Chains A and B, each alone.
Chain A
Amino acid sequence: MTASRSRTIIFTIAAVLSLVGLAESTYLTVQFLSGETVVCAGSTGCFEVLGSKYARIGSFPVAGFGALAYFCVFTFAIFTAFGYRRARTFFSLTVCAMFVSTVWLLYVQAFLLHAFCRYCLFSAAIIFFLTGIVVASRPND
């Protein structure tokens, strides 16, 4: 397999993953902004996490920043897949920033709130996959 072809495949996978994260975080943002609470129905952990002070920055939900970050990752992944070399650096930087944020949010859930939110865990899984792509893909791919 040529480097160009493997790069296309790897970053297309990254783009698809970030699309899933984008859909989830957009959904959470809209639910937050519309005041809908069904999103957590039956899950006390979800309420404890999404209702905590850590779930927002000012009056804007953290999920909204997540949606923005996922969109950036998607954009950089698509451009990298199409051979734009500089986009790869931005992709790596954004994913690294998201990884650090995710570790912080997991710490908050585990040690400060003692509760976990299913949406946050799903998003964390996506970001770990994306981080894996950053680490595993060779710079000349």
Chain B
Amino acid sequence: MRRYLPFIIVGVVALLTVGSGVLLYRAHPPTVLKGGNSANISKADADKLHVRGDRDAQVTLEEFGDFQCPPCGTISSHLDDLVRDYSPRVRLIFRNFPLPVHAHAAQAAYAAEAAGLQGRFWEMHDLLYREQLAWTKAPDVLGLFNAYAGVLGLNLDRFKADMQSPQVKEAVEHEHEQGAKRGVISTPTIFVNDVGVSPQSLNEAGLHAAIDAALKGSASSSPKSK
């Protein structure tokens, strides 16, 4: 028996390692909610939109956000919870609105857009909000964004080039202009089915109430709901 014991020990450890690795991989919660594009927005615009949640959702939450704004970071997790809680009736659209007072907000928006060109917008979005305290104080913020891209498994050369590209900058500026046209002056600004949510209601209870009202409105106006 002793002769076979080392083989047994090594075999058990190998099985435990592979088994726990597979379990850990499977247990990894989906950190990113994904979804399709808006049905009532043109195809060209829809392709550029960052949508989280169901494509046929009755209610659209539209956030104008700035990655360097602390309240945006706080409300971001609430918005994710709402999209989950109301799934599939609510979807979230994120639009960049970097404020000039925030030194790195525009670069953070470019980073998210550049990640989006490789299909990882929401991963970078979540990472930027979660690590907001760290990167806002970093001496080399661009270096840190590159590191984030590396951890997300992005093609780094492409990411660096995209961050500097006119395409990405124009996309951010376009969203900023759209926000300004709709009267956005601060972040976060949230619209629920095109109706602005007052700053006092930008909390979990206020957003719940706004969504419930929008759901009620869409149910009463939709013939399918009868």
Contacts and interface: CB of A to CB of B under 8 A. Distances in A.
Note whether A and B form a binding pair. yes
Interface of A: 19, 22-23, 26-27, 29-30, 32-38, 40-44, 47-48, 50-53, 55, 59, 67, 71, 74-75, 78-79, 81-82, 84
B6 A78 contact: yes
A50 B150 CA distance: 8
Given A51-B149, A82-B5, A74 B21 contact: no
B156 A53 contact: yes
A51 B144 CA distance: 9
Nearest to B120: A35
Interface in B146-167: 146-153, 156
Interface string B102-128: 000000000000000000000100110
A51 B28 contact: no
Contacts of A19: 13
A79 B127 CA distance: 44
A52 B9 CA distance: 36
Nearest to A22: B17
A33 B25 contact: yes
Closest 6 CB pairs of A and B: A51-B150, A51-B147, A51-B151, A47-B147, A34-B28, A82-B6
Interface residues of B, number: 34
A84 B153 contact: no
Given A19-B13, A35-B153, A47 B6 contact: no
Interface string B1-37: 0100110011001100100110011001001000000
Contacts of B144: 44, 47-48
Interface of B: 2, 5-6, 9-10, 13-14, 17, 20-21, 24-25, 28, 31, 123, 126-127, 130-131, 133-135, 138, 143-144, 146-153, 156
Contact of B147 (A32, A52, A67, A78): A52
Contacts of B13: 19, 22, 71, 74
Given A42-B134, A44-B134, A53-B156, A26 B150 contact: no
Which of A38, A51, A74, A84 has the most chain B CB atoms inside 10 A of its CB?
A51
B190 to A, nearest CB: 25
A44 B198 CA distance: 35
Contact of A36 (B21, B28, B131, B134): B28
Given A22-B13, A52-B150, 13 more contacts: A23-B17, A37-B130, A38-B31, A42-B131, A42-B134, A44-B134, A44-B135, A47-B134, A47-B151, A48-B144, A48-B147, A74-B10, A84-B6
Given A36-B31, A37-B123, A55 B150 contact: yes
B152 A35 contact: yes
A12 B143 CA distance: 43
A37 B31 CA distance: 9
Contact of A30 (B2, B25, B146, B152): B25
Nearest to A34: B28
B17 A37 contact: no
21 contacts: A22-B13, A26-B20, A30-B21, A33-B25, A34-B25, A35-B123, A35-B153, A40-B151, A41-B130, A42-B133, A42-B134, A44-B134, A47-B144, A50-B150, A52-B150, A67-B17, A71-B17, A78-B6, A78-B9, A79-B10, A82-B5
